[in-house]
Amino acid sequence: MKTIKRMLDHMYWADGRILGALEESKTQDKDLLKLARHVAVAERVWLSRLQGKGSAQYSLWEETEDLTAIRKMFEENAEQYRIYIEGLEESALDEMVDYANQSGVPFRTSVRDILSQVLLHGQYHRGQINRGLRMESAEPIQVDYITFARPKRG
């Protein structure tokens, strides 16, 4: 459980950093903004499933220009994941969650695997966003786990 909590802390940190890089770049690239929103919504979708709620009300791939709304969603997600994980016992990681994907197809997946999906999915898309920033000649931001984990200097 300690590793999962630490990885979630990295996710909150990395979400904030990638959003900061998008804000600083002043990008107008709709695909990059759509990816950032997608990460935030996907985190929310998976949390809803973990909480036994439906997720059909969420649209994963909408365009947006509102980075403030995305930041708010990331912050709310972090708060809700912290509450969820603090109430989770180690033994619950192997419990199965029944849910339907966004197309209505039913699945059954362990809590552990869902949390792993959330952590890996966001990192994948943050890499895509960084690549897009570099292509715009903007400075990509370091979001690697090791950067998060290293002791701060200075």
Smallest CA-to-CA distance from 99 within 149, 29, 45 is with: 45
Measured distance CA(7)–CA(115) in Å, rounded: 10
Which amino acid appears at position 86 of this protein?
E
Token pair recorded at residue 97: 């969650």
Measured distance CA(85)–CA(10) in Å, rounded: 14
Annotated binding site: 38, 121, 125
Annotated binding site for a divalent metal cation: 38, 121, 125
